Amino acid sequence: MIINIEIQKDQPADYHLLNRSIYYVSRMISSQKGRDFVKSKYNDLKRVFNIWICLDMNENSLSRYYLANENILGECHWKGKQDLINIIFIGLTKDLPERDKKYELHRLLNALLSDKIKVQEKIEVIENEYHILMNDDLRRDVNIMCNLGEGIEERAIKETTERVTKKVTEEVTREVTEEMTEQFIRSMYDKGCSIELIADVARKSIAEVKAILDKAILSV
């Protein structure tokens, strides 16, 4: 079988995740030709699984999409693998679910991926509830996951701050530059310079210079 696992921070707003998943499994099927089977040996096709872990959902959920058969007329049975294509959605809430058999998978994944749970708490849940021996390598991996999440959040904050700062700086610079240009034009006009000369020096059109001067007269 071929398995592809991806994590989504939430459901995308600009497209439907199921549509993307159908595209993925279709590509996973078609890419096998020439690699996993040749010519017309379609019976050698491997099963494909596209698994999505979606965070910050409203409820914990588990859904599977696969090929289904509907006999519209007759009861003919067509040979083949009906389970070739599998799409799995695992929805996780922000909070660690209660200890319940139906939440076994979700509690483990939430313990691993949650940014609300400390490293030691994660390790305790994994060891005590799931009896997974946390050797040094696994402990290091859990630490890396936590630090990675913090790093992504810090980088996002930094990038947003830099982007906003740049935008504000550009806006202020533009306003200051425009104000200085208007003051310069008014000053040259007061000193008796012609509008044509002012336009040439200030790199403005004659119409723009006249508009600035008209604005100055109206504000007096």
Mean pLDDT to the nearest integer, 62-71: 90
Give the model confidence (pLDDT) of 183-204 as tens digits. 878 888 888 888 888 888 777 8
pLDDT grade, residue 220 (50/70/90)?
very low
* Structure tokens that stand for 51 in this block: 């698994």
pLDDT grade, residue 167 (50/70/90)?
low
Residue 169 has pLDDT above 50, yes or no: yes
pTM for this model (two decimals)? 0.62
The residues spanned by each domain of the chain are: 1-69+81-93, 176-219
